A and B are shown apart, each in its own frame.
Chain A
Amino acid sequence: MTLLSVRAMTAGYGPVDVLRDVSLEVERGGVVAVLGSNGAGKTTLLRALSGLLPDCRGEITFDGTSLRGMRAERIARLGLVHVPEGRGTFPDLTVEENLAVGAYLNGDRSAARRETGRVYELFPVLKERRRQPAGLLSGGEQQMLALGRALAGGPRMLLLDEPSMGLAPLVVRQIFDALRAVVTEEGLTCLLVEQNASMALSMAGYAYILTVGAVTAQGPAADLADDETVRRAYLAL
């Protein structure tokens, strides 16, 4: 069953269209990767989906609800949660408070407490540092916190923007392991935007390739990983 569907979306900043006529679908419980080089429009795609771009044309539906013209905070409350690239944390709030802000997306307190506990299980280092301001965390810990904050709200689908960006390989593995655990154990749906194509394809079931704002290839992740052109362009093999 389709959870998120995008039809003929065109979006950008002011007069400049960054995305042209993009269509994609994400199945419930599936992980879909969007690959592309710098400037292909990957971040713009996620910003359009989460309502941060006011003028985007085309039809976006999430679980049967049209997101057209909906404000970012309402989309988040529907359970479609965007984890922005880089540091999307609140630097002066403690780790605990950051997670609490995320957990407010949960209707009730017991769910919030449960999800927060789950985040601490996934990332024990966050529990150790829960009284520290987020601004003092390392880059990897910030990324964990950003992901943790999204998870604490009990999302129905995550939009992940380059979770591996600028992080050491070991930390990237840690984050992806946690993500994989959530996906397999809880069936969380993800749209994953990455430059680290091999990592993304190893997790995703299906993938799209975005080139200069348009979808130029798509298919099951395994097929794309074997495809010669894709391997040369994105996997640097």
Chain B
Amino acid sequence: MQQLVQTLLDGVGSGMIYGSLALALVLIHQATRIPNFAQGEMAMLSTFVAWELIDRGLPWIAAVAITLALSMAGGYGLQRGLIRWVERSPHLTQVMVTLGVFMVINGVAGLVWGYLPKTLDGPVSSGSLRIAGVTTSWQVVGMVLVTVGMLLLLYLLFSRSRLGLQLRAAAQNPTSARLAGINVGRAYGIGWGLSAVVGAVAGVMVAPQTGLEPNFMFPILLYAFAGATVGGFSSPGGAVVGGVLVGLVEALTATYVGFIGTELSLTVALVTIVIVLLVRPDGLFGKKEVARV
């Protein structure tokens, strides 16, 4: 019983991370219809920036704050400087351009920081705590709290604020949005910036557990895509729930299905994606996507 609760807790903890990155993917997909395959690498770059700042002696919280600001600017700049030029291109071109970005970021990170894993400290001590007989680490608790807080902020931003409303309007009907005085290009840029920030948070949260090297986001990106597929690419809330479900499936299979263990966890994600696409292609919460002809 205790083991089960603990497993579930771990699953929720990592699921929150997958959910955050899945949310970043869905935000960009909602706004610009592009699945951003560079999302994981953008998060990786942000995490390296945070590591660098901490390494140079900045306190954790300041380093992360600067990183988030830089991520916002970077995401905005990427959209305004590059992605906007393929906004009207075929889908295939858009996806491939995000792949190009993926390669460039991955290579540059390798060039600057090398491939030896680095240790990034978490915001809280790595000690563990016991509640009602269940042992868990402060890191898991911190991850859950931070992610929930971030999701709450995003929800408020999109549902209550003027900026959020403008972003949603620009995503739904760009022409009408312009006619209502909204700078749609800026809105798309902010959308990319926000999802870069969400990705950065995910990266900073997960790096203390996995170690930091240029390829460290590959698995997380896969889980995030699995989460977004489970939840549906048209549903931001669904993406988070999907991410948590994927985290739970990962934790449960690792603990209880002997031959899978931790070593086949990525295959579990692959199989999850294939099954969801077969059974429920629009995800659990997604709306049926109308093909663009």
Contact = CB atoms under 8 A, between A and B. Distances in A.
Whether the complex brings A and B within 8 Å at their CB atoms is answered: yes
B103 to A, nearest CB: 33
A89 interface: yes
Give chain A's interface residue range (CB within 8 Å of chain B): 20 to 34
Interface in B156-204: 162, 165-166, 168-169, 172-173, 175-184
A105 interface: yes
Contact of A100 (B165, B178, B179): B165
A73 interface: yes
B181 A88 contact: no
Contacts of B180: 76, 81, 101-102, 104-105, 149, 153
Contacts of B165: 93, 97, 100-101, 104
Given A93-B169, A97-B165, A105 B181 contact: yes
A73 B166 CA distance: 12
Contacts of A73: 178, 181-184
A90 B175 contact: no
Contacts of B176: 84, 88-90
Interface of B is mostly: helix
Nearest to B234: A92
A133 B285 CA distance: 17
Contact of B175 (A71, A84, A102, A149): A84
A89 B178 CA distance: 12
B179 A104 contact: no
26 contacts: A52-B175, A71-B178, A72-B179, A73-B181, A74-B181, A76-B178, A76-B179, A83-B179, A84-B176, A84-B179, A88-B175, A88-B176, A90-B169, A90-B173, A90-B177, A91-B172, A92-B168, A92-B172, A93-B168, A93-B169, A97-B165, A101-B177, A101-B182, A102-B180, A104-B162, A105-B181
The 4 closest A-B pairs by CB, nearest first: A76-B181, A72-B178, A88-B176, A77-B181
Interface of B: 162, 165-166, 168-169, 172-173, 175-184
